[in-house]
Amino acid sequence: MTISDTGSVSPATRWHLLPAEKVLEQLQSDRQLGLTSEQVAERQRQFGPNELEDTGGRSNWAILLDQFKNIMLIMLIAVAIISGVMDLMDMQAGRVKSNDIPFKDTVAILAIVFLNGLLGYVQESRAEKALAALKNMASPRVRVVRDGRVQEVSAGELVPGDIMLLEAGVQVAADGRLLEEASLQVREAALTGEAQAVSKRVAADLSEDTPLGDRLNCVYQGTDVVQGRGVAIVTQTGMGTELGKIATLLQSVEAEPTPLQQRMDQLSQALVTGSLSLVAVVVVLGLLVAGWGKLRELVEVSLSMAVAVVPEGLPAVITVTLALGTQRMVRRHALIRKLPAVETLGSVTTICSDKTGTLTQNKMVVQGIHQHSCSLSVTGHAYTPEGEFLLNGQPIDTRHHPEAIALLTAGLLCNDAALQKENGDWCILGDPTEGALLVAATKAGLDRHQLSYAWTRLGEFPFTSERKRMSVMVKQEGGGRITDAMGAIAPLLLPSSSLLLFCKGSPELVLERCQFVYVKGTVEPLSGDRRQQILQQNNHLASKGLRVLGFAARPLEALPAEDSAEETEQGLIWLGLVDMLDAPRPEAREAVARCRSAGIRPVMITGDHQLTARAIAEDLGIAQPGDEVLTGPDLEHCTPEELEAHVERVSVYARVAPEHKLKIVQALQRRHHIVAMTGDGVNDAPALKRADIGIAMGITGTDVSKEASDMVLLDDNFATIVSAVEEGRVVYTNIRRFIKYILGSNIGEVITIAASPLFAFGGVPLTPLQILWMNLVTDGLPALALAVEPAEPNVMSRPPHDPKESIFARGLGTYMIRIGVVLSIIAIAQMVVGYHLAQTIPGDPDRWKTMVFTTLCLAQMGHALAIRSNTRLTLELNPFSNPYVLTSVVFTSLLQLALIYVEPLRNFFGTQILSPLELLICLGFSLLLFVWIELEKILSRWQGKGAGVGD
């Protein structure tokens, strides 16, 4: 945004490319005086407050109304209305029996519709709080220069052209271009994903496509100043800031329906279409055969069929199943925020993971030290001060290597970090790089406190972004206990002085100030060949993605002046190189391998340098040597079609910006992948929201990322994602299991009801209320029990199912139809027997309807027992591996008997008392379904193939 004389605005200005003086000129501001009060007032009117705008989401009423747009609920509402009209007509015609309760079917159906709608509302009514979290990040107080004096104002009052004063501990309140800085370091992890604080500088030679994380002369809203001070001119406010752009992305991203939601929509459409088609066939055939005199009976049949086809208990069962899955996942450190995400995890084909803290420990660890005579590798992990130094793979005693001791002593004295133990874990206070050096020295037996006692720091030349090095001046004070360090350092001292300078920093910059090298306890001239060898070694280590520091020393005769760094840091003695790495989590390699075996591709998307990203990815098995790595600038020049081609083969993305992450996720989704995306910063929120599964970090994650996510990792661990995927697969398998159980029974009910007009028995065998009972209780309770069936042994050794597959895929549809047909044949046969029996034995002649009702309910109990496994017979299963199934079968059977023999229930549900003989007939017919399913398993074994339906 450039402010011209006419007040026009150009939002495309690349502020990082302009010199500071040019920025001041274009924004019509003054470095010393700042803006005037009149300028501020005018710009506040022009640009508005420095706040993030909320476009708003759906209201609670809109969410509630959306629930009743489901086609199955609409059909049930229509059934309830027609049933109510028919009851009203019966009341007016005097056809109501004395013990009948008017409108009970209508009330029951509408109650079920309302409860289903309420259940969906509860799932979706979580308000989108991501933008509120963004606003909280953008509301600090800030010191500015206005009217020639320093003032403190609210961040919301900032305008372009304001002069901001920055110091350690403050949060940057708007985007700005640096005018001054002194050792300024800003933590930009929330925007760039970079774990380390960034050293800023005013003069930076940057290109137009420099990524956000490398724009060293700019600061951004929502980031934190961790060291130094600075002065910046505000260039962007409100929605024009980088944070505002993320807010815009977040608001523009629409959450995609999960695979489960898509499959449930597909199921609803199939059931309703099939039901209406069958109703039409039954009504037309009935009218052709029996004439208009049978219209009322045909309407009753149609209403019962419509209720029978809708699995009213299914939404509740699915919700409870997902909720149980979330409880199991919490025990494995994964918190699910949105229930459908549980099932979606089982469909994941690609996991896009950040590097720092998720795949790695977010802890720098020294890997090796390299000197002229030898290179030593260092073992150990994290900040635990335990490990060995290896030479050619064999442990060595560092006391016999004075070069190593001298180098580690330099790293210990040129250091401001502290190592301490909290809650049983070792941690670092201070810079992670210095912490790594401290731990390495401790592994070699050097004691920080003893060395500090033996060597007193008298002064230092601090690290700056221009110098890229730090030096300390120390004086030997005695301390005979430090014999190893004393002996190693002694050759570096002058006979007449005990003062030493230790320097650490960029290897190239430290090396160019060296004239000598420390070799096997002696100081020798640094030849050109040796210098070249050191540079080659440094380049080799850097190419492996390691962070490399160079160390040097120099004896001093007197303490130098504070402003004499350039003169003093000359003629140094080269000590060696130290390489370090943010080490992978110990469990990450196994987790990546489990992903591979499960047919899931892990992808690393990080803001870190491409060499570091490549090294970690290769180490973990995410990428292979020679694999392509895409960077943010590469993605800038990719068309959507080119990116789609890349995403199928690229597993490492480095130096990415927020919009790049979103583009990658979208490209993968266009290639029909189900994507899980991890993130912890504000920059990740749009991609988290767009991904099929957005996964936020519970420890390091921002509120924004958590609110935009579907799942939160409580331990920030990639391995937890894999465990959650396993739970997701178990949940999906169990969902398919009880769907085929419920719908197989429903199809049997529909066919039985549709066939009843073919028999001149008079009336429909099942009322809508009885069908609701079957769908909610006799189907629902065993289905809930089936939802907790334990995982199968091969759950993580098979590829993910096709995310676009139909809910009826892999034999589920044919199973439901086959079992439905068998169940209807059994029920129709029993209906014929029961009708003739009811006519020959004194009593209510409609007892045959109660027998059909009871047979269908008890047959479903046998179905629940048999369906636990597709391959093993029920007798071969351990009943206590899922005791809930047997318990639900017994309990539901007792409830069904209560409907027959408890008078209030009998009157309400319209059943009749059955004799013992009639009850035994019902039990005998119902057992036939159980026998049929067990025979199917035996036949499948005999044919040497799997069961009738795969999971």
Distance CA 371, CA 794 (A): 50
Task: Single out the residue of 132, 162, 141, 150 nearest to residue 47, CA to CA.
Answer: 162
The burial class, CB within 10 Å (0-12 / 13-18 / 19+), for 682 is buried
Q: Is 103 in contact with 84 (CB distance < 8 Å)? A: yes
Which of 207, 211, 176, 349 lies closest to 660 in space, CA to CA?
211
- How far, in Å, CA of 556 to CA of 91, rounded? 111
| 649 φ/ψ angles, rounded to the nearest 5 degrees | -125, -15
Question: Per-residue DSSP letters for 273-322?
Answer: HHHHHHHHHHHHHHHHHH-GGGHHHHHHHHHHHHHHHS-TTHHHHHHHHH
Enumerate residues 6+ apart whose C-beta is below 8 A from 538. 507, 508, 511, 548, 550, 577
Question: What's the rounded Cα separation, in Å, for the pair 201 and 198?
Answer: 10
Beta carbons of 346 and 806 less than 8 angstroms apart = no
What are 261's two structure tokens?
């939601």
Q: How far is C-alpha 174 from the chain's CA centre? A: 29
Angle at 444 between CA 438 and CA 446, to 5 degrees: 65
* Tokens (6 digits) for 495: 């006979």
In three-state secondary structure terms, 365 is strand
C-alpha to C-alpha distance for 901 and 917, rounded to whole angstroms: 15
Contacts of 542 (CB under 8 A, 6+ apart): 548, 611
Q: Which tokens sit at 708? A: 């935009």
Q: Which amino acid is at 745?
A: S
Question: Which DSSP helix (H) or strand (E) runs through 703?
Answer: helix 703-708
Is residue 450 within 8 Å of 484, Cβ to Cβ?
A: no
Catalytic residue among 105, 162, 354, 582, which? 354
CB 403 within 8 Å of CB 575: yes
Question: Could you tell me which of 899, 889, 640, 706 has the C-alpha nearest to residue 782?
Answer: 889
Is 265 one of the annotated active-site residues of the chain? no
Distance (Å, whole) CA 410 – CA 552: 8
Q: Which of 706, 646, 662 is nearest to 681 (CA)?
A: 706
Q: How far is residue 622's CA from residue 634's CA, in Å, rounded to a whole number?
A: 20
First to last CA, the chain: 57
| Residue 936: other Cβ atoms inside 10 A | 19
State the sign of the Cα–Cα–Cα–Cα dihedral 48, 53, 58, 60. negative
On whether the CB atoms of residues 352 and 677 are closer than 8 A, the answer is: yes
Token pair listed for 918: 């009639």
User: Which contiguous run of DSSP H or E holds residue 245?
Assistant: helix 242-252
Mapped onto helix, strand or coil, the DSSP state of residue 425 is strand
Query: Strand runs (DSSP E) across 488-646, as ranges?
Result: 499-505, 514-519, 522-525, 547-556, 572-584, 601-605, 629-631
Residues 298, 287: Cα–Cα separation, whole Å: 8
Instruction: Report the 10 Å Cβ neighbour count for 73.
Output: 21
Q: What CA–CA distance (Å, rounded) separates 267 from 784?
A: 19
Secondary-structure percent of the chain, ordered helix, strand, coil, rounded to 5? 50, 15, 30
Q: Give the residue numbers marked as catalytic.
A: 354
